[in-house]
Amino acid sequence: MRVHSGYAWRWKVMALLALTTLLAGCGINNIPTYDEQVKAAWGQVENQYQRRADLIPNLVETVKGYAQHEQDTLTAVIEARAKATSIQVDAKTLDNPEKLKQFQQAQDQLSGALSRLMVVSERYPDLKANQNFLALQSQLEGTENRIAVARKDFIAAVARYNTEIRTFPGRIWHTLMYSSLPVRESFEATSPEADKAPQVKF
């Protein structure tokens, strides 16, 4: 009887392993995997926007030293930065479409304010030749490029996740096991300039 029980136990273990392998092959883990990829991609978007926000105070101070008469433009940048950094959308609030839209609009407004600041800067040759300004300009340009890449990666991750939960067999797994995970919102252009990085080259 013990020998028989041992064989039965082995068969049960083997059957369980075979079932686990079969389910894994059917994509049972795809939805949580893609969900984590969306969150990771969003983290990169936030990191790059934060990097831009960190550059702005030094940029404003440098411009102010050469262009004190452009107070309205400088104030607009400062206020847009304050608004953009006051709205935080992390992995926990990523499922809130309204919050995501507010965050996106605030970042777009900051992009617009930075664009106007760069146009103003062209009027001041001494500013354009300042080494600190040139360094900040280069860093800002690089950050805008990173933002564009991070947004593109996030959009791709969201599309992959949403497609998985709407198509077979992902739709079945979503209904049976992951119904608490919602369809994700992605970026949409909210202004004509939303997809354009501020022009920082002279």
pTM (predicted TM-score): 0.80
Nearest to 34 by CA among 152, 159, 148, 151: 159
Q: State the pLDDT at residue 123.
A: 92
What are the tens digits of pLDDT across the range 170-191? 888 888 889 999 999 887 755 4
Return the domain boundaries, the chain. Answer: 31-176
User: What would the two tokens of residue 119 be?
Assistant: 């146009």
Cβ distance 161 to 34 under 8 Å? yes
Residue 75: φ, ψ to 5°? -65, -40
Fold of 31-176: de novo design (two linked rop proteins) (1.20.1440)
Q: What is the rounded CA–CA span in Å between residue 87 and residue 124?
A: 33
What are the tens digits of pLDDT across the range 68-87? 889 999 999 999 999 999 99
Cβ distance 32 to 178 under 8 Å? yes
